[in-house]
Amino acid sequence: MARSVADQQEDAENVGARLERFVRDRVAGAGDVRITGLTRTFGGLSRENWVFRAAWTDADGTHDQPLIMRRDPAGSLLDTDRREEFAVLRALEATDVAAPRAFWLDEDGSVLGSPSLVMERVAGECDWFVLNSDRPEPVRLGFARGFLEMLVRIQQVDWRGLGLDAVLKDPGCHAAAAELDRWEGELRRVALEPVPELEVVLRWLRERARPCTRTVLVHGDFKPGNALLLDDRISAMLDWETAHLGDPLEDLGWITNPVRAREHQISRLWERERIVEVYTELTGHAVDPDELTWWNVFSCWKLAVIVLTGMHEFVAGRFDRVHHSPTWLVRAMLRMIEEGAR
């Protein structure tokens, strides 16, 4: 049975004891285990995030490690798998992608109360709108290019060589259809009433889904808000829970989506055309404008389904944040479709 919001809050009283027992179980010969500075942060909407320090002794000596636990909450905007997220983070350790090191996994939640992973706490700050902040223009442009270079590095990960195909399903050339299937399934699960406009857009997407020519690792929620910044560099890319194998244009469609322009673009300096130009330079792959528009529309459609999930979980008493109808996203999708038909 799903936990209520009230039950979830009550759990906070014994999280420290759970973590202490968890570290002792996961570290061979661990002694003098201490959990300090335990605090729940509220930056994310899909997982419980608890920051703390874990100290212990073992055969290798004394350890004092800043960590963060990501735990499944009572209700969430996203239904994702901690096992998959853990596997992706472990695989990325062998790459040049800046991501936190994954320490331990409680796959079934038997120790920590619900499925959880514990990972390294990386230094840095989160700034959702760093590209349009008060930082100097050259710094903002440096971050803009840095984010795109990070996206390309993710797409260049040798997911087969790292064994990620044992955890993540390879959709082959049918990546677009696979993502539509996934998110249509979510729509059918969470919609509290019919949303005809989303059905119209879904039909448009179905009719125009194209096969992809290569499969890459997709982050699934690539944005500055899911990164840590240290000085003038990106110290880590976070929130890998929606990572999957798919079409390279999926993440590119997410960051060139007009509704996310304030996060990913800089007026006149780093807009859609320039992003695509630099992406092509970095990858050697040309981008079909119509296909990119398809992924822009899909990004809005997926986001609309996520908003409906928030409404569903709030009504069910498992989520304490109110979400409103995604009408504004419907307008954006219909506008992109209309402009593409001209």
Contact at 8 Å (CB) between 207 and 337?
no
Provide the pLDDT confidence category of residue 117 given band limits of 50, 70 and 90. Answer: very high
3-state secondary structure of 270: strand
Place of tokens 């630099």: 278
Q: What average pLDDT does range 141-154 have in this prediction?
A: 98
Is residue 6's pLDDT more than 60? no
Domains (ranges, CATH) in the chain? 5-120 (3.30.200.20), 130-340 (3.90.1200.10)
pTM: 0.92
| DSSP codes of every residue in 108-159 | T-TTTSSSEEEEE----B--TTGGGSSS-HHHHHHHHHHHHHHHHHHHT--T
Per-residue CA distances from 110 to 106, 114, 236, 244 (Å): 7, 7, 29, 26
Residue 126: its pLDDT value, please? 94
Residue 320: its pLDDT value, please? 73
3-state secondary structure of 19: helix
Residue 10: its pLDDT value, please? 41
Contact at 8 Å (CB) between 72 and 116?
yes
Contact at 8 Å (CB) between 41 and 49?
yes
Q: What burial class does residue 65 get, using C-beta atoms within 10 Å of its C-beta: 0-12 exposed, 13-18 middle, 19+ buried?
A: middle
Contact at 8 Å (CB) between 47 and 119?
no
Residue 13: its pLDDT value, please? 63
Q: Which of 315, 242, 332 has its CA nearest to residue 44?
A: 242
List % helix, strand, coil for the chain (3-state, nearest 5).
Answer: 45, 20, 35
DSSP designation for 34: E
Residue 341: its pLDDT value, please? 66
Beta strands 31-41 and 116-120 are unpaired
Q: What average pLDDT does range 121-149 have in this prediction?
A: 96
Q: How far is CA 156 from the centre of its chain?
A: 18
Q: Quick: pLDDT tens for 162-209.
A: 999 999 999 999 999 999 999 999 999 999 999 999 999 999 999 999
Is residue 26's pLDDT more than 80? yes
Q: Quick: pLDDT tens for 262-288.
A: 999 999 999 999 999 999 999 999 999
